[in-house]
Amino acid sequence: MTRRTNVVIVGGGVVGLSTAMQLSTDDRYQVTVLEADHVGAGSSSRSVGIVETQYVQPFDIEVRAYGHRFISRIAENSDLQLHRNGYLRLADSAASLGEFEESVARQRQFGITGARVLDTEAVRALVPFIAMDDRAGGLLGADDFYLDGYLYANLMASHARSNGAKLIQRARLVECRWTTSGAELSTSNGAFSADLVVNAAGAWAGRVGEILHAPVELRPELHHAVTVFSRTAIAGTVPSIMDYVPGHGGEGIYLRPEGSNSFFAGLHSEVSSGTRVDPDQVSLNAAGPEFVDALAEAFLTRFPGIDDAELGHGWSGLFPMTYDSSPVVGPHPTNDAVICALGSGGNGIQLSPAIGRTVVEYLRGEAPTMAGPASPWDPKRISAIDHIDTKPEGALR
Ligand SMILES: Cc1cc2nc3c(=O)[nH]c(=O)nc-3n(C[C@H](O)[C@H](O)[C@H](O)COP(=O)(O)OP(=O)(O)OC[C@H]3O[C@@H](n4cnc5c(N)ncnc54)[C@H](O)[C@@H]3O)c2cc1C
């Protein structure tokens, strides 16, 4: 009998678990997930959980369409509820509206048929409390949904376990020694050996990259969300709303319903702010006052029809951002026994299936179907070593 390849995945968030679930169906691999805390303890349980495909670039749509299908499939006959309220991206100009028309056609090519462009009147009819004077319309993904990131992570963990994967919680990777037969990994919960190691450590991937001798520049960026209450119940189904056009920079307010008279709201960006926090030191329990002020202003401007809105409890979480804001997925350029699965920023819930599948394809030696060499996720772009910060010892990575 041929020996199975021992793959250790560092990180039990949605990215590591999607990889574990998809890899563990293949008998040639023994899969072990090492998680420093518990399943979903990182960013995955702090997300707002939106899964959508309302992008313009074909690649952005393709990877999300895969995620949409994958999550819909695993949610069937499970306790994971997908709230199919739809997703509305607002157009900041007539030119954006033109791009949204292209998006609808491209989404169809990738099997997504529920998208359509709305003019301002149609947006107002759908969302009566919105201000559209400075917006040109929107792109509605009628089949888009939101979910609970923690439950999603646990569902994939359960699939991976039933496929034979080992999931070791409270096992923080602290050291790695490479020998001729692979990696010797020391953790807070025992020692493990691996032929190949996947770095899926989210906001901690910079640190884990150093431990694995496979450095990556990863910026853990702090983002917040708050609950917004209205005393008046909102009639009908309200889609999640995003006032941000990818590629246009800056940040925009988003809103997703949570019950009949409350919402989760935040400020979204897909561009790295260049700032970073220490993921082990930062407080994640509340949204800071500066954020609350900026959110309140953006909320009143965009949603003036909810005139009794009250901000409730807020929380924070980390976007694992790379220097160019795109994920890094595939063999590390200077240590190909380490596979990178990191940098999903504010999109890791919806991108996790495609990241996991791409890692699996690389591991099997197959040509990646979506995000292979020369794609925006190609790790070769990090081999220009000057991208990697050489900060003094003790500085934040
Ligand atoms: C406020 C907010 C809202 C968001 N909303 C959305 C959304 O609507 N849709 C969407 O798609 N995305 C959203 N995101 C982004 C999404 O949550 C992340 O991109 C995603 O969770 C990243 O998953 P991950 O598995 O890479 O990281 P994580 O979930 O952070 O998992 C990494 C894991 O690695 C573990 N780890 C760290 N160091 C070690 C070590 N040394 N050894 C072992 N394990 C280690 C950590 O404990 C952690 O559990 C949001 C994020 C935030 C903060």
- Half-sphere exposure of residue 358: CA atoms within 13 angstroms, side-chain side: 30
Q: Of the residues 297, 321, 345, which one is the last residue of a structural domain? A: 321
- Measured in Å, residue 211 CA sits from the centre of ligand 1 at 19
Q: Is residue 140 domain-resident?
A: yes
CA distance 19 to 359: 7
Q: Confidence class of residue 190 from pLDDT cuts 50, 70 and 90?
A: very high
What pLDDT is stored for residue 394 in this prediction? Answer: 31
pLDDT, tens only, 143-162: 999 999 999 999 999 999 99
Q: Which atom of ligand 1 is nearest to the CA of 318?
A: 53
- Measured in Å, residue 257 CA sits from the centre of ligand 1 at 22
Q: Is residue 179 domain-resident?
A: yes
CA distance 242 to 52: 11
Task: Tell me how many domains the chain contains.
Answer: 2
- Measured in Å, residue 199 CA sits from the centre of ligand 1 at 13
- Say if residue 276 is in the same domain as residue 258: yes
- Measured in Å, residue 33 CA sits from the centre of ligand 1 at 15
Q: Is residue 23 domain-resident?
A: yes
- Taking residues 265-289, what's their average pLDDT? 86
359 touches 72 (CB < 8 A): no
- Measured in Å, residue 202 CA sits from the centre of ligand 1 at 5
Domain containing 276 — which CATH number? Answer: 3.30.9.10
Domain containing 20 — which CATH number? Answer: 3.50.50.60
Q: Is residue 396 domain-resident?
A: no
- Half-sphere exposure of residue 324: CA atoms within 13 angstroms, side-chain side: 14
- Taking residues 49-77, what's their average pLDDT? 97
- Taking residues 340-350, what's their average pLDDT? 97
- Say if residue 344 is in the same domain as residue 313: no
Q: Confidence class of residue 235 from pLDDT cuts 50, 70 and 90?
A: confident
* Cα–Cα nearest to 257, from 81, 86, 67: 86
The residues lining ligand 1, judged by C-beta closer than 6 Å to any ligand atom, are 10-16, 34-37, 41-44, 46-50, 149, 172-173, 200-204, 208, 223, 225, 266, 317-320, 344-350
Mean pLDDT of the chain, nearest integer: 92
226 touches 289 (CB < 8 A): no
- Say if residue 343 is in the same domain as residue 251: no
- Taking residues 238-248, what's their average pLDDT? 92
Decide if pLDDT at 298 tops 90: yes
Q: Of the residues 277, 296, 321, which one is the last residue of a structural domain? A: 321
- Say if residue 312 is in the same domain as residue 196: no
- Percentage of residues in the chain having pLDDT higher than 70: 96
- Say if residue 134 is in the same domain as residue 233: yes
What pLDDT is stored for residue 335 in this prediction? Answer: 94
Decide if pLDDT at 267 tops 70: yes
- Say if residue 193 is in the same domain as residue 295: no
- Say if residue 124 is in the same domain as residue 194: no
- Say if residue 355 is in the same domain as residue 368: yes
Least confident residue range of 20-29, 100-109, 147-156, 250-259: 250-259
Mutation pick for ligand 1 pocket among 47, 170, 351 (CB with most ligand atoms within 8 Å): 47
Q: Of the residues 321, 342, 377, which one is the last residue of a structural domain? A: 321
- Taking residues 79-83, what's their average pLDDT? 96
Decide if pLDDT at 123 tops 70: yes
Q: Is residue 74 domain-resident?
A: no
- Say if residue 276 is in the same domain as residue 158: no
- Say if residue 350 is in the same domain as residue 258: no
CA distance 199 to 220: 15
What pLDDT is stored for residue 390 in this prediction? Answer: 39
Q: Confidence class of residue 180 from pLDDT cuts 50, 70 and 90?
A: very high
What pLDDT is stored for residue 233 in this prediction? Answer: 75
Q: Is residue 165 domain-resident?
A: yes
CA distance 175 to 210: 9
Give me the residues paired with residue 320 across strands: 220
Q: Of 59-63, 260-264, 377-381, give the range with the top mean pLDDT.
A: 59-63
The backbone region for 40, taken as left when phi is positive above 0, alpha when psi lies in -120 to 50, beta otherwise, is left
Q: Is residue 248 domain-resident?
A: yes
Decide if pLDDT at 262 tops 60: yes
Tell me the residue range of the domain where 133 lies.
84-144+220-321
CA distance 239 to 108: 20
- Say if residue 121 is in the same domain as residue 32: no
CA distance 278 to 295: 24
Q: Confidence class of residue 395 from pLDDT cuts 50, 70 and 90?
A: very low
Decide if pLDDT at 384 tops 70: no
- Measured in Å, residue 105 CA sits from the centre of ligand 1 at 31
More confident residue, 77 or 273: 77
Mutation pick for ligand 1 pocket among 349, 352, 355, 358 (CB with most ligand atoms within 8 Å): 349
Q: Is residue 355 domain-resident?
A: yes
Q: Confidence class of residue 1 from pLDDT cuts 50, 70 and 90?
A: low
- Say if residue 275 is in the same domain as residue 378: no
Decide if pLDDT at 62 tops 90: yes
What pLDDT is stored for residue 393 in this prediction? Answer: 34
- Taking residues 57-74, what's their average pLDDT? 98
